[in-house]
């Protein structure tokens, strides 16, 4: 049985080893698992069979060998303790031989063998080292995988390998100087990195090590010698992968260097490592290496490190690499903190985000060190709180969350951070989704703040006393309305927690005011949470409220939840806002109040605190007082009459009347409120008391408060008229109800009707500008037919009128820079006093002194200087002071007055206006986002009439200031200006290019949008004409124009230089997108020559080259007319080829980044873009510079992919490019021989090629390539079935044109033998091609008999008896061409060495037949 089992096992193992060559990776994996299962049972037996199999089949394909070697590795790993020592020795020998059998590096094969040695080395390290060190001899470069195996062994068996490392590095050091190839440099660097890490692990665990006497200085000398070569030579390599590996090695080696050596090298080492960030896109390894170097430096107490700290902080801040803070914060906490906090002041979004990320890390990881800096951090975090970027705000929220967990929010100033969170819980929705996927939407930020607030409430226990009752303060202010839901949820949790714990501070003494009941479904549905919160804190409101609310509030909540779905489906238009609702609530409460003194007091409070200029609030007040009058008519009328006689109605005079509520207009508004109150009092008054009070109290007081003589003196009086009419209408309605139950003679009806008629007559007859006519007619109807007609009132929204404040006028008077010193000083005095009047009204005491306002006195003295430059500077200082105190509502008024000042006929005035305007925008412009489009439009209009160059420059500065504050809005507004841009729009874009930092941001923004926007749409031009027309889309066209104008600014050179590859790529793709594209219809009639789609792209590209100072590129393009060719659809690819040629010759170093940027465009859906980019790449391959810059592989891969493009032109250009490699980089032809020959073959077989352009390019390319193919690769030409087939078909097709040409006849005879022999080719397609070619060539051969044979016997689908055919054919060859027999004989002999047995057999038969016939004939 055992023998039978062994036999079966051997058979199965052998079968599995045969099956390991399967192409399916799943099958290969299953084979490995099956052999492993057998190996676990009999490891020695299975390993022996694997070894024997490899030895008996030395020519196994690489993939097959790899699977078997991987299987050996699995068995060794699984059963190493059960494998006999002799078998271990033989496995080591096998793996070593397999690993080094080939001198060339074959990664899969040699890595599999190496892995076996590593697996065995985990137990038998001495045997492994004995074998490997035989192949690691001094003075001879070892095999790549010998070094790689040593490196991997040092990882897998630290304690076994470290004792060998000193000797290994001693042998390795001389080899480093001998190494020239990058792959060997890489493996040595990688090995040194692994060695260093192993030594460090060994030293860190000496208690477990076999030799505890090992010290760091044992290796310091060898490590420094290796460091010298790696740092001074290898790290400068042009190969990115090698640079990164060297950097990684240097990081690990730094821990093992002698302290004095490391200290000496730090000033050179740190800048070099930092410089790698710019050269490599992979930053992780660089950051890891830098962290290790910094850790080594800090551990040894480096003094040099302090001198490098500034450069380190600046460079690392760009990477936001928080790992380095762990070391720097412990060693240089003060400098690091100052640096980070200073960076927070930088308004650049990326800088600020990086600083916040580092700050958050410091707060979380360096608690003890940050303890003394908490107040400083709290003070510094305030500036980012005001940032407008949602990305920055997201980082701020993360920092606040970290601060909350470390006790910052409990300090003074922590409430501001809580307020910030709540403010952003109240954010409105984004109605327009940002195109940038990385953009943080309002919804996302709001959700984050909701979660953060919930986190504060539930997990940060120390914040409970901070948040309760603070959060209650945010429930009632209107600006936090949208945060009500998360606030209520948090307050409910806090209240329940405190109530459960019976904490004494649960009971609060407060007066809560809320407006959430007005609109329960607004602000994310705040009604239900508000009611739930009231339910929870009912005992805080009143002890008696708890039992009532316990019963009523749940019902209300259920009712609201039931209505929620209906509310989402139909939005109801609300007639009153929350303030109006509150006044009505107060009216209802006063109805139920029996304390008359309290009623009078509350009425007085309402009338005094009302904002009389707010129409909605005025209505709410009047309705509330009317409701109160239903129970307290006498008291209400007395209070209204008393209010009408109060000091509030006295008109102020003098300068004090110009700033606040006591001017004539505001007095009229208060009268309007009073008049409306009387109307609602009449409407709600008890019917039994109303009629006796109409004449004596209500109408009498209304007439006292309305002056009919100046009815339409102003717009405000027009509003007063409307209110009067409305009030009279309410009185008429009230009377109409009362007279139904009791008789009453309305004596003043006729008088009122007369007043109404006067109002009608005063209205213009041609247009209806005001609601007066409608209101009068409705009121008259109520007066005349109170019992019949009752028209409903329609709610009308009245416009809010802005008026120019006196302070604005005074400012402009001062800033006109009058030549009269006395006028200037007087104006300053006026401003000085107005500022203090403003402060007084804001609540400051009479003796309060404000530092900024006091600064006006210094400004006044400076105005005596006649130097205009000093005066302008003084104006700027004055404006800074005013901007601090100017109310927001007056800011826009002042700004638009300044815009008028820009066109003042006095140049001093216009210049002064520009100085003030820009100062105001710098200080207050951040809050004017809604006005930006309007301000830009005004500036655009002003540019058209301004002749003063200095003022024009100032307008450019204004645009720049607005752009720094509202970049997206400014760009969107200017892009939307009508095309073609007029000269003033162009000036505005040029102004944006004047700031290189801003220009960089705008250009990046435009490039991103150009890359994703649709360049054109296909439209049907006419119903009568077939086909579609490409019509340009407006926005990409406008952005191309914008780029063109911005690059005209000389100051944009830095931005252009930085973004050159992206700009060049974007504009080249845009150029391709513009070929054959027409303008939109709305532009066709507007000066088409100025805005041709293709012309705009060409001009932008030309300006880009000029701004980048590439004159050497532009010169040949100008000489060869390349720009005109690019604009011509028929010659477009020729023009692009000329551009590519010029760039390759004169701007080579810029090409790698350009090529990398252009590659994605080759996959675009637009053919025109693919054609342009392929033409550019195709010509690049014609120049050796692409090999020098190491972008040949990238270009070749892209060209190979384009061979199968759906567009024929792209395929043709790709074939051309592949052929060009023979001109540009002939030494690389053999490297890509297989791909090149396949591509040319495919091109020659192209079916979809009407003009045969692809075929011609393939033939041309093949002829170039053949010049450089070596013998090995020439066989590819023959061995490749497709190439043989295509070449033979091409020969047949060419013979159609060679009839009668002696030269062509000779060529046919030269290849005739080859064609005859290939009739027995193993590939049937090649046989068919031979038959086709010989039939087509038959008339050219010169023998009618042979021609007839070919036509009759060589049919593609018909079988051929090869022996008989050759026998008959040789007769005719001997008869008709006896002079060619010797040539045929020599040619046939060459085929005896063919790779195909069929061809060799056919050649032998041909020789035999020929000789037999020859002797029989002669």
Q: Is the pLDDT of residue 1100 over 70?
A: yes
On the CB side of 1062, CA atoms within 13 Å amount to 18
Sorting pLDDT into bands at 50, 70 and 90, what band is 1298?
Answer: low
**79 or 355, which is more confident:** 79
pLDDT at position 798 = 25
Could you tell me the end-to-end alpha-carbon distance of the chain, in angstroms, rounded to an integer?
75
On whether the CB atoms of residues 287 and 277 are closer than 8 A, the answer is no
Comparing CA positions, the residue from 1275, 1316, 1337, 1334 lying closest to residue 1399 is 1316
Mark out the alpha helices in 1048-1203 (DSSP H runs).
1053-1073, 1081-1084, 1093-1107, 1111-1119, 1122-1127, 1132-1146, 1151-1158, 1167-1180, 1185-1188, 1192-1202
Residues 81-122: tens digit of each pLDDT:
899 999 999 999 999 999 998 888 888 999 999 999 999 999
pLDDT at position 1115 = 93
Comparing CA positions, the residue from 78, 86, 191 lying closest to residue 70 is 78
**750 or 799, which is more confident:** 750
- Name residue 1029's beta-bridge partners: 1019
Q: Phi-psi region for residue 1024, left (φ > 0), alpha (ψ -120 to 50) or beta?
A: alpha
Query: What's the distance, CA 812 to chain centroid?
Result: 44
1252-1280 residues labelled b (16+ CB within 10 A) or e (exposed): ebbbbbbbbbbebbeebbeeebeebbbeb
pLDDT at position 903 = 79
Sorting pLDDT into bands at 50, 70 and 90, what band is 1157?
Answer: very high
- pTM summary value: 0.44
Comparing CA positions, the residue from 859, 851, 850 lying closest to residue 828 is 859
On whether the CB atoms of residues 240 and 188 are closer than 8 A, the answer is no
- In angstroms, the Cα distances linking 567 to 427, 524, 834, 1013, 1086 are 21, 12, 50, 38, 50
Using the structure block, give the residue that is written with the tokens 């003494």.
509
Please state, as a whole number, how many other Cβ atoms lie within 10 Å of the Cβ of residue 611: 14
- Got the DSSP string for 645-694? TSGGGSPP-SGGGGTSTTSHHHHHHHHHHHHHHHHHHHHHS-HHHHHHHI
Which helix (DSSP H) or strand (DSSP E) does residue 159 occupy?
helix 158-178
Residues 951-1003: tens digit of each pLDDT:
888 888 889 999 999 999 999 999 988 888 888 889 999 988 888 889 999 99
**1351 or 815, which is more confident:** 1351
Q: Is the pLDDT of residue 824 over 70?
A: no
On whether the CB atoms of residues 268 and 227 are closer than 8 A, the answer is no
Q: Is the pLDDT of residue 322 over 70?
A: no
Residues 221-240: tens digit of each pLDDT:
888 889 888 888 898 888 88
- Specify which of 563-567, 584-588, 1217-1221 reaches the highest per-range mean pLDDT: 1217-1221
**238 or 1177, which is more confident:** 1177
- The whole-number average pLDDT for the span 452-472 is 83
Please state, as a whole number, how many other Cβ atoms lie within 10 Å of the Cβ of residue 1375: 13
- The whole-number average pLDDT for the span 1278-1305 is 66
On whether the CB atoms of residues 294 and 328 are closer than 8 A, the answer is yes
**1112 or 763, which is more confident:** 1112
Q: Is the pLDDT of residue 761 over 80?
A: no
Rounded distance between C-alpha atoms, residue 1152 and residue 1175, angstroms: 16
Token pair belonging to 996: 């290189």
- Specify which of 24-28, 371-375, 627-631, 656-660 reaches the highest per-range mean pLDDT: 627-631
Mark out the alpha helices in 215-348 (DSSP H runs).
217-232, 240-253, 259-279, 284-299, 304-319, 325-331, 333-344
Comparing CA positions, the residue from 1258, 1266, 1183 lying closest to residue 1215 is 1258
Gyration radius of the chain over CA positions: 46
pLDDT at position 74 = 92
pLDDT at position 1138 = 95
Q: Is the pLDDT of residue 765 over 60?
A: no
Average pLDDT of the residues of the chain? 79
- In angstroms, the Cα distances linking 76 to 49, 92, 591, 612, 1126 are 14, 11, 96, 93, 66
Comparing CA positions, the residue from 29, 37, 26, 721 lying closest to residue 13 is 37
Instruction: Calculate the dihedral angle through the C-alpha atoms of 1370, 1371, 1375, 1379, rounding to the nearest 10 degrees.
Output: 20
Comparing CA positions, the residue from 1168, 1166, 1101 lying closest to residue 1140 is 1101
- Name residue 1032's beta-bridge partners: 1016
Rounded distance between C-alpha atoms, residue 752 and residue 736, angstroms: 15
pLDDT at position 830 = 67
Residues 600-630: tens digit of each pLDDT:
888 888 888 888 877 888 888 899 999 998 8
Q: Is the pLDDT of residue 1333 over 70?
A: yes
Rounded distance between C-alpha atoms, residue 1416 and residue 1418, angstroms: 6
**651 or 937, which is more confident:** 937
Which residues have CB under 8 Å from 756's CB, separation 6+? 725, 728, 776, 779, 780, 783
Residues 1137-1153: tens digit of each pLDDT:
999 999 999 998 999 99
Kindly report which listed range (59-73, 737-751, 874-888, 1314-1328) carries the lowest average pLDDT score: 737-751
pLDDT at position 1103 = 93
């Amino acid at each position: 049985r055992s023998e039978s089992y062994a036999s079966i096992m051997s058979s199965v193992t052998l079968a599995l080893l045969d099956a390991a060559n399967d192409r399916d990776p799943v099958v290969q994996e299953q084979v490995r698992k099956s052999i492993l299962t057998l190996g676990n049972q009999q490891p020695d037996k299975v390993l022996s069979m694997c070894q024997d199999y490899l030895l008996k089949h030395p020519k196994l394909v690489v993939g097959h060998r790899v699977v078997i070697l991987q299987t050996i590795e699995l068995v060794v790993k699984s059963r190493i303790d059960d494998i006999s020592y002799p078998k271990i020795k033989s496995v080591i020998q096998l793996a070593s031989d397999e690993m080094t059998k080939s001198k060339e590096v074959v990664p899969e094969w040699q890595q599999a063998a190496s892995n076996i040695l590593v697996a065995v080395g985990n137990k038998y390290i001495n045997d492994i080292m004995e074998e490997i060190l035989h192949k690691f001899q001094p003075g001879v470069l070892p095999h790549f995988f010998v070094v790689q195996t040593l490196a991997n062994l040092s990882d897998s068996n630290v304690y076994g390998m470290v004792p060998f490392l000193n000797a290994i590095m001693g042998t390795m050091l001389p080899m480093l100087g001998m190494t020239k190839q990058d792959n060997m440099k890489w493996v040595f660097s990688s090995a040194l990195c692994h060695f260093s890490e192993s030594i460090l692990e060994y030293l860190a665990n000496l208690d477990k090590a076999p030799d505890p006497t090992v010290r760091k200085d044992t290796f310091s000398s060898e490590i420094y010698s290796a460091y010298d070569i790696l740092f001074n030579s290898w790290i400068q390599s042009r190969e990115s992968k090698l640079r990164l590996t060297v950097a990684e090695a240097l990081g690990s080696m730094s821990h093992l260097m002698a302290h004095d050596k490391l200290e000496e090298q730090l000033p050179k080492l740190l800048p070099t490592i930092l410089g790698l960030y710019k050269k490599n896109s992979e930053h992780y390894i660089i950051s890891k290496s830098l962290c290790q170097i910094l850790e080594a430096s800090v551990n040894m107490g480096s003094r040099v490190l302090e001198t490098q700290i500034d450069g380190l902080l600046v460079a690392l801040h760009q990477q936001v690499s928080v790992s380095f803070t762990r070391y720097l914060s412990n060693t240089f906490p003060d400098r690091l903190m100052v640096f980070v906090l200073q960076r927070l002041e930088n308004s650049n979004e990326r800088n600020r985000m990086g600083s916040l990320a580092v700050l958050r890390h410091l707060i979380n990881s360096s608690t003890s060190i940050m303890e003394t800096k908490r107040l400083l951090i709290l003070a510094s975090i305030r500036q980012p709180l005001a940032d407008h970027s949602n990305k920055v705000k997201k980082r701020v929220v993360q920092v606040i969350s970290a601060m909350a967990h470390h006790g910052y929010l409990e300090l003074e100033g922590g409430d501001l951070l809580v307020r910030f969170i709540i403010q952003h819980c109240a954010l409105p929705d984004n109605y327009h989704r940002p195109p940038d996927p990385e953009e943080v939407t309002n919804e996302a930020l709001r959700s984050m703040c909701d979660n953060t607030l919930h986190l504060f409430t539930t997990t940060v226990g120390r914040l409970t006393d901070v948040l309760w009752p603070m959060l209650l303060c945010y429930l009632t202010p209107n600006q936090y309305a949208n945060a009500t839901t998360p606030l209520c949820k948090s307050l409910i949790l806090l209240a329940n927690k405190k109530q459960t714990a019976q904490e004494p501070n649960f009971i609060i003494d407060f007066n809560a005011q809320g407006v959430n009941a007005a609109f329960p479904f607004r602000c994310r549905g705040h009604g239900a949470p508000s009611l739930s919160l009231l339910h929870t804190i009912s005992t805080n409101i009143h002890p008696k409220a708890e039992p009532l609310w316990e019963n009523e509030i749940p019902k209300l909540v259920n009712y609201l939840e039931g209505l929620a779905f209906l509310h989402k489906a139909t939005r109801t238009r609300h007639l009153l806002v929350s303030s109006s609702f509150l006044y009505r609530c107060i009216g209802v409460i006063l109805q139920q109040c029996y304390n008359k003194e309290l009623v009078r007091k509350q009425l007085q409070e309402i009338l005094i605190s009302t904002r009389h200029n707010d129409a909605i609030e005025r209505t709410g007040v009047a309705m509330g007082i009317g409701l109160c009058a239903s129970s307290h008519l006498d008291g209400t009328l007395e209070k209204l009459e008393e209010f009408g006689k109060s000091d509030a109605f006295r008109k102020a005079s003098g300068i004090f009347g110009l700033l606040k509520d006591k001017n004539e207009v505001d007095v009229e508004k208060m009268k309007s409120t009073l008049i409306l109150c009387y109307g609602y009092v009449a409407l709600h008054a008890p019917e039994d008391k109303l009629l006796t009070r109409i004449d004596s109290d209500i109408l009498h007081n209304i007439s006292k408060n309305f002056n009919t003589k100046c009815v339409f003196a102003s717009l405000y009086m027009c509003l007063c008229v409307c209110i009067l009419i409305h009030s009279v209408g309410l009185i008429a309605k009230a009377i109409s109800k009362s007279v139904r139950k009791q008789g009453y003679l309305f004596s003043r009806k006729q008088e009122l009707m007369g007043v109404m008629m006067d109002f009608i007559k005063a209205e213009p007859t041609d247009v209806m500008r005001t609601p007066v006519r409608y209101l009068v007619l409705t009121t008259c109807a109520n007066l005349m037919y109170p019992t019949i007609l009752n028209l409903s009132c329609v709610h009308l929204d009245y416009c809010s009128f802005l008026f120019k404040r006196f302070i604005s006028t005074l400012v402009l008077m001062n800033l006109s820079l009058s030549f009269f010193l006395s006028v200037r000083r007087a104006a300053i005095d006026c401003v000085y006093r107005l500022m203090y009047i403003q402060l007084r009204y804001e609540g400051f005491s009479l003796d309060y002194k404000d530092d900024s306002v006091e600064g006006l006195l210094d400004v006044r003295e400076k105005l005596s200087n006649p130097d205009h430059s000093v005066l302008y500077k003084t104006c700027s200082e004055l404006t800074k002071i005013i901007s601090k105190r100017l109310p927001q509502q007056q800011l826009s008024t002042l700004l638009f007055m300044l815009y008028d000042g820009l066109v003042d006929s006095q140049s001093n005035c216009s210049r002064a206006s520009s100085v003030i305007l820009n100062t105001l925008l710098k200080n207050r412009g951040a809050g004017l986002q809604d006005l930006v489009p309007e301000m830009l439009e005004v500036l655009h209009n002003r540019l058209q009439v301004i002749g003063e160059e200095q003022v024009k420059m100032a307008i450019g500065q204004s645009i720049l200031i607005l752009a720094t504050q509202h970049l997206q809005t400014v760009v969107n507004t200017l892009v939307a200006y009508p095309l073609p841009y007029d000269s003033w729009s162009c000036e505005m874009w040029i102004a944006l290019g004047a700031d290189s930092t801003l220009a960089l941001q705008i250009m990046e923004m435009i490039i991103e949008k150009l890359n994703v926007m649709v360049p054109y749409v296909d439209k049907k031009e006419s119903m009568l004409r077939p086909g579609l027309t490409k019509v340009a889309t407006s926005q990409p066209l406008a952005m191309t124009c914008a780029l063109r104008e911005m690059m005209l600014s000389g100051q944009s050179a830095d931005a252009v230089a930085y973004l050159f590859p992206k700009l060049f790529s974007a504009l080249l793709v845009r150029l391709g997108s513009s070929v054959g594209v027409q303008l939109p219809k709305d532009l066709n009639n507007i000066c088409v020559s100025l805005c041709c789609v293709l012309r705009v792209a060409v001009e932008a590209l030309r300006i880009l080259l000029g701004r980048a100072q590439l004159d050497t590129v532009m010169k040949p393009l100008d000489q060869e007319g390349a720009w005109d060719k690019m604009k011509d659809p028929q010659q477009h690819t020729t023009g692009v080829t000329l551009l590519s040629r010029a760039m390759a010759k004169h701007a080579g170093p810029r090409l790698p980044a350009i090529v990398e940027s252009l590659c994605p465009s080759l996959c675009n859906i637009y053919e025109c873009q693919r054609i342009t980019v392929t033409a550019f790449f195709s010509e690049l391959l014609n120049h050796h510079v692409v090999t020098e810059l190491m972008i040949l592989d990238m270009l070749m891969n892209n060209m190979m992919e384009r061979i199968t493009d759906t567009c024929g032109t792209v395929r043709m250009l790709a074939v051309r490019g592949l052929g060009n490699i023979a001109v540009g980089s002939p030494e690389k032809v053999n490297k890509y021989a297989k791909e090149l020959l396949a591509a040319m073959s495919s091109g020659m077989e192209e079916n979809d090629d009407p003009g045969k352009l692809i075929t011609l390019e393939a033939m041309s390319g093949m002829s170039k390539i053949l010049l450089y193919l070596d013998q090995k690769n020439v066989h590819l030409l023959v061995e490749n079935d497709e190439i043989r087939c295509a070449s033979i078909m091409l020969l047949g097709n060419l013979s159609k044109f060679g009839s009668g040409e002696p030269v062509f006849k000779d060529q046919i005879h030269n290849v005739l033998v080859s064609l005859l022999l290939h009739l027995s080719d193993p590939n049937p397609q090649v046989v068919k091609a031979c038959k086709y070619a010989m039939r087509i060539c038959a008339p050219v051969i010169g023998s009618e008999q042979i021609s007839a044979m070919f036509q009759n016997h060589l049919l593609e689908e018909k079988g051929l008896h090869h022996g008989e055919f050759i026998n008959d054919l040789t007769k005719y060859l001997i008869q008709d061409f006896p002079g060619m027999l010797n040539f045929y004989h020599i040619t046939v002999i060459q085929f005896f060495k063919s790779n195909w047995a069929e061809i060799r057999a056919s050649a032998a038969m041909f020789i035999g037949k020929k000789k037999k016939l020859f002797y029989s004939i002669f």
